[in-house]
Structure 1
Amino acid sequence: MFVDKARIFVKSGKGGDGSASFRKEKYVPAGGPDGGDGGRGGDVVFVVDEGLRTLMDFRYKKKYIAQEGEKGKAKKMHGRDAEDLVLKVPPGTIVRDEDTNLIIADLTNHGDRAIIAKGGKGGRGNVHFTTATRQAPNFAESGGHAEERWVILELKLLADVGLVGFPNVGKSTMLSVVTSAKPKIANYHFTTITPNLGVVEVNSKSFVLADIPGLIEGAHQGVGLGLEFLRHIERTKLLIHVVDISGSEGRDPLEDFHRINDELKHYDERLSKKYQVIAANKFDLLESEDVYKNFEDSMKAQGYEVFPISAATNRGLKELLSYVANKLDEIKETPIFDEAETFKYYTPEENESHKIIVRRENDYYIVEGRPVEKLINSTNFQDMDSLRYFQNFLRKRGIVDELKALGVQDGDTVKMYDFEFEYYD
C-alpha cells in the first residue's frame, strides 16, 4: 500500500536530574558535595533512507517517545546520555508542525537528518553550586524539559518528469514501455491509484519519470484522487501532458488539455507554469490526421511542442524522450517553496523557551514559564541554602520587580505551579 501522508506524535527525552550527594568516605566525617550531572535526554531524529518508498511505517504506530537521560550519581559520576530515537523516512519527506503548519524539515537526499524534538539537557549536580559562603549545597538542578509536538509527514515523489493527463489516456502504458516499471494497466478509470516511478535511458542520458494518477475536474478541491497526488507534481522539473488524440472515450483532447491545466493552476499556480511537452497518444487510432493537425496548430500557437505517439506500438516515443532529456539540461532547479512561504529548519535555540510570565489573576499573582518550573523542581525547600538560591534567581531574573509593578503587597499569595508562597519583601 502506498501511504504519502501521516500524522504522528513525537516527544524527546527529559534530561536526567543532577545529584545532590556528599562524599562518604572512611576518616572523612564531613565530606563535601560530589553529586554528578544528569545525562542528556534523547533527540527525536528523522533520517532519509533511500530504500523506503512510502510512509507505511507510520500508518499504525502514532506515538514516538525518546528515552530520558539518566540521573546523576555520587562521586561526581555523570548520568548516561539517552540514545536518540531515529525514525527513517523516504526521500522527499516534508515535516510540518501541526499547530503552526510551519515546515520543520525538507528531507530530500539519502542520509539527510533533522532533529524534530530536542532532548533536555542534563541537570547539574550539587558540586556546581558551591560558593565561598555555601560549602555544602543540599540541592541540585533538575533535568531539562522534553519537547513534544504533533507533526504532519508529507511525501512528495522525487522525479524529474511527471506524466499528467486524464484517466485512461495511456500514461501507465507509456511508463511501462519506456522504463522497467510495471504499473497496473487496464481499460478503466483510475487504474493507477498510486504514483509509479521508472528510469528512462535515452541518448546516454537518464531521468526519473513518474506516472501521476489521472486528474479530473475538481481535483484541486479533493475530488477523486486530486489532492492526494497533485503534491507529487511539485518536485518535477518538466511535465509530459498526455492526451488521447483519438478521442476514443468521446472527449475533446484540446478541451481535456485546458481542463487539466486549470486543475494545476487552482492547486498551485506554479504547477501550471512548469514546462510542458504534449504527447498526443493513440495516434494509431485516428481515423483522420486532420484532427491531429488542428490540435497541433492550436498547441503550437500557444508555444507548446507536440509529439504524435502511440504508447502501445512505440511510435514516436524515442523522439519525445530525446527532446525531454535535452530539455531537462536547460531547465534550472526551482525551489518548491517561495520566499513568501514560511520555511525554517529546527534549531535548538529557536525551540527552547526561556520566557517567564508574571500576571495577576483575582487575588493571586501567577508566575509561569519553563525556567520557573525547572527552578521549582530543583529547589529543596527544607534547605536554607537552596531557598536562598531560589530567592536570588527570582531577583536576578526580574520576577520580584515585575510582581512589585503589578502591585504585590506583603502577605499576598504568589502561585508557581503547585506551590503557593506568601510574599514578603
Structure 2
Amino acid sequence: MTTFVDRVELQVAAGNGGHGCASVHREKFKPLGGPDGGNGGRGGDVILVVDQDVTTLLDYHHHPHRKATNGQPGAGDNREGKNGKDLVLPVPDGTVVLDKNGEVLADLVGQGTQFVAGQGGRGGLGNAALASARRKAPGFALLGEPGEGRDIVLELKTVADVALVGYPSAGKSSLISVLSAAKPKIADYPFTTLVPNLGVVTAGSTVYTIADVPGLIPGASQGRGLGLEFLRHVERCEVLVHVLDTATLESDRDPVSDLDIIEEELAQYGGLDDRPRVVVLNKVDIPDGKDLADMIRPDLEERGYRVFEVSAVARQGLKELSYALADIVAAARAAKPAQEATRIVIRPKAVDDAGFTVTKEADGLFRVRGEKPERWVRQTDFSNDEAVGYLADRLNRLGVEDALLKAGARAMDGVAIGSDEDAVVFDWEPSMSAGAEMLGRRGEDHRFEAPRPAAQRRRDRDAERDEAQGEYDGFSPF
C-alpha cells in the first residue's frame, strides 16, 4: 500500500457566488415600496496552507477532487446571502504548486504559508444595490459568479539542510538514525528506503535537519530505479553528503566509482553544482573497510573533498561529522538574506491594458475577451430584458462598441464574448448598445412609477395616436 506520495495532480473548484435577489418592498398601504433585494454570498476559496504535521501528499492522491461550498442567494428585505466556507487544504512544508503546463504558481515554505488555489465567485448584486439616481427601481438582479476551477500539480521538495546521497545499502539510513532521533527502516537489501527520511540534529548551538534520500543508481536521472522520483528532494539542501560503502561485497563496485556515478547523476539532473560536498566513508569498523578507507582517502582529498571516516554501527567519527556539517549549514544561513520570502508568482497587468481585447477570427466572428466583459456576461440573466439592457450599457461604457467599430464590425456581424466553451454569441446591433438614452430608462422596473391620473393617460394616448398617424401620412405634427 502506498504510504508516501510527493507528486499529485489535484482538481480544485472554488464555490460559486450566490445570486442576487430582485425583490419589492411591500407593506400595508404601500404595495410598491421600492427595491429591497439583498446581495448573494461569496463562494468559498480553496486555500493551500503549509502544515508542519503533514509530511506527504497521500490524502490528495486518494481524493484528487476538492470543492469549496457555494454562497447562498440573497433574499428580500435587504437580507444578504451567507458566504461559502473556505476549503483549507494542509500541505507539507516545501510544496511547489504548478499549473497543468508545468509553470510554477507558488513555492510554499514555512509554517502557515498560504496560497489561494481557487478564488471563490463573487455574489450577485441584488436590485437594491443596483439602484441609482438614474435607475431608481431595477427590476432585475445579477447572478452569482462561478467559482474558479483549475487543475494544479503539487510537488513536494523536502526542506532540509543536509542531504545524504549514495548507493542503496551504503548506510544512509543507519547514519541518520544515529545522528538524529529519526527511526527509518533499516535492512541489508537494495531500496530499503522508499521515502525520504528526515531527522533533526543538534551540534552545539546549531540545529539543522538532515534528509536520507532514497538510493541512487546509474540512470536515475533518466527514470531508472527510485532516484528520479526523489532527486527533487535534494534541491533545497545546503550541503550534499556522499555516503560511500567501504565494505561492499559486490566485486564490480568500489567507493570511488560509486562517487563518480552519483556525481554524474546529479550533474545530469542539474542545478546542484553550487552545493558543497562532503564525503563520508562508512563502515570503517570492519577491518577491510578501514583498510580501503585509508587507501582512497588521499585521492578524495586531492579532489577537494572533506572526508570523514565513520561507523554508524560502532558510532565512530559521528561527532566530528556532525559539527562539520553544522559549520557549513551555519555559514550558508549567514550568507542568505535575513528572511527568504515564499515565492508566489504575480503577473501584473500592463499600464495601458484596456481590460479587454477584440479580435476577428477566420470565420468572420468578432471575439471579445477580458476579465470584466466575461464576468459581466456570467452575471447576466438573459431571460430578463432589463438585465440585458444593463449589460449593454456596461459594455458600452467600457468601450467595447468603439473597439468593435475600429476592428471593422458592422451591424448584424457575429460577436462572441468569452472563450469557446462558455461564450455568449449574438448578432451585433450598434444602436442597441448606445447607452440608456437610446431606450429611455433602460434597466428600470416601470411598475414602481406612480400611477398617472386618468386625464393625463387620455392625453398621452391621444398624442401617441396623432404621432403615429402623422408618421403614416408622411409628416409629423411635432
Seen in structure 2, the aligned counterparts of structure 1 residues 190 and 272 have a Cα distance that, compared at 3 Å, is farther
SS at match of 2:333: coil
Seen in structure 2, the aligned counterparts of structure 1 residues 133 and 188 have a Cα distance that, compared at 3 Å, is closer
Report the alpha carbon displacement of residue 216 of structure 1 after superposing the two structures with TM.
0.7
Residue 303 (str. 1) matches residue 309 (str. 2): no
**Which has the larger Rg?**
2
Amino acid at match of 1:160: D
Residue 88 (str. 1) matches residue 80 (str. 2): no
Distance 2:348 2:147 in 1: 12
Report the alpha carbon displacement of residue 261 of structure 1 after superposing the two structures with TM.
1.1
Q: Is the 8 A contact 1:220 1:227 kept in 2?
A: yes
SS at match of 1:297: helix
- The residue number in structure 2 matching 1:409 is 410
Residue 25 (str. 1) matches residue 27 (str. 2): yes
RMSD, matched Cα: 2.7
Report the alpha carbon displacement of residue 23 of structure 1 after superposing the two structures with TM.
0.8
Residue 420 (str. 1) matches residue 426 (str. 2): yes
Q: Is the 8 A contact 1:139 1:379 kept in 2?
A: no
Report Cα offsets for 1:317-367 as digits up to 9, x if no partner. Answer: 2222122223322223788xxxxxxx63468989xx953545355365444
Residue 217 (str. 1) matches residue 223 (str. 2): no
SS at match of 1:30: coil
Distance 1:84 1:383 in 2: 32
Distance 2:234 2:379 in 1: 52
User: Which moves more between the two structures, 410-419 or 18-27?
Assistant: 410-419
Amino acid at match of 2:99: D
Report the alpha carbon displacement of residue 115 of structure 1 after superposing the two structures with TM.
0.9
Report Cα offsets for 1:249-283 as digits up to 9, x if no partner. Answer: 221211211111111111123x2431121111122
Report Cα offsets for 1:143-178 as digits up to 9, x if no partner. Answer: 233111111111122222111111111111222223
Report the alpha carbon displacement of residue 35 of structure 1 after superposing the two structures with TM.
1.4
Q: TM-score, normalised by structure 1?
A: 0.88
Q: Is the 8 A contact 2:107 2:344 kept in 1?
A: no
Amino acid at match of 2:158: L
SS at match of 2:243: strand
Structure 2 residue aligned with 1:15, among 14, 17, 23? Answer: 17
- The residue number in structure 2 matching 1:340 is none
Q: Is the 8 A contact 1:138 1:380 kept in 2?
A: no
Q: Is the 8 A contact 2:145 2:379 kept in 1?
A: no
- The residue number in structure 1 matching 2:209 is 208
User: Which moves more between the two structures, 141-150 or 46-55?
Assistant: 141-150
Q: Which runs of 5+ in 1 are unaligned?
A: 336-342
Distance 1:410 1:332 in 2: 66
Amino acid at match of 2:96: I
Report Cα offsets for 1:95-148 as digits up to 9, x if no partner. Answer: 11123x222222222222211111122222212333334321112222233111
Distance 1:289 1:79 in 2: 75
Distance 2:335 2:169 in 1: 30
State percent identity of aligned pairs: 40
Report the alpha carbon displacement of residue 227 of structure 1 after superposing the two structures with TM.
1.3
Q: TM-score, normalised by structure 2?
A: 0.79
Amino acid at match of 2:51: D
Amino acid at match of 1:48: V
SS at match of 2:242: strand
User: Which moves more between the two structures, 141-150 or 8-17?
Assistant: 141-150
Seen in structure 2, the aligned counterparts of structure 1 residues 8 and 288 have a Cα distance that, compared at 3 Å, is closer
- The residue number in structure 2 matching 1:312 is 313
Q: Is the 8 A contact 1:160 1:238 kept in 2?
A: yes
- The residue number in structure 1 matching 2:260 is 258
- The residue number in structure 1 matching 2:81 is 79
Report the alpha carbon displacement of residue 312 of structure 1 after superposing the two structures with TM.
1.8
Distance 1:168 1:127 in 2: 72
User: Which moves more between the two structures, 203-212 or 360-369?
Assistant: 360-369
Distance 1:345 1:380 in 2: 35
Q: Is the 8 A contact 2:20 2:74 kept in 1?
A: yes
Which aligned pairs between 1:364-403 and structure 2 lie closer than 5 A? 364-367=365-368, 369=370, 371-379=372-380, 385-403=386-404
Q: Is the 8 A contact 1:356 1:372 kept in 2?
A: no
Distance 1:65 1:414 in 2: 33
SS at match of 2:183: coil
Q: Which runs of 5+ in 2 are unaligned?
A: 337-342, 418-422, 432-478
Distance 2:241 2:286 in 1: 20
Distance 1:282 1:153 in 2: 38
Distance 2:320 2:380 in 1: 76
Report the alpha carbon displacement of residue 409 of structure 1 after superposing the two structures with TM.
3.2
Q: Is the 8 A contact 2:358 2:366 kept in 1?
A: no
Distance 1:129 1:202 in 2: 66
- The residue number in structure 2 matching 1:121 is 122
Distance 1:65 1:288 in 2: 57
Q: Is the 8 A contact 2:206 2:330 kept in 1?
A: no
Report the alpha carbon displacement of residue 368 of structure 1 after superposing the two structures with TM.
5.0
Residue 344 (str. 1) matches residue 350 (str. 2): no
SS at match of 1:59: helix
Seen in structure 2, the aligned counterparts of structure 1 residues 393 and 188 have a Cα distance that, compared at 3 Å, is same
- Matched positions, count: 414
Distance 2:9 2:394 in 1: 40
Amino acid at match of 1:420: F
User: Which moves more between the two structures, 379-388 or 131-140?
Assistant: 379-388
Report the alpha carbon displacement of residue 292 of structure 1 after superposing the two structures with TM.
2.8
Distance 2:175 2:146 in 1: 54
Report the alpha carbon displacement of residue 194 of structure 1 after superposing the two structures with TM.
1.3
User: Which moves more between the two structures, 284-293 or 38-47?
Assistant: 284-293
Q: Is the 8 A contact 2:14 2:45 kept in 1?
A: yes
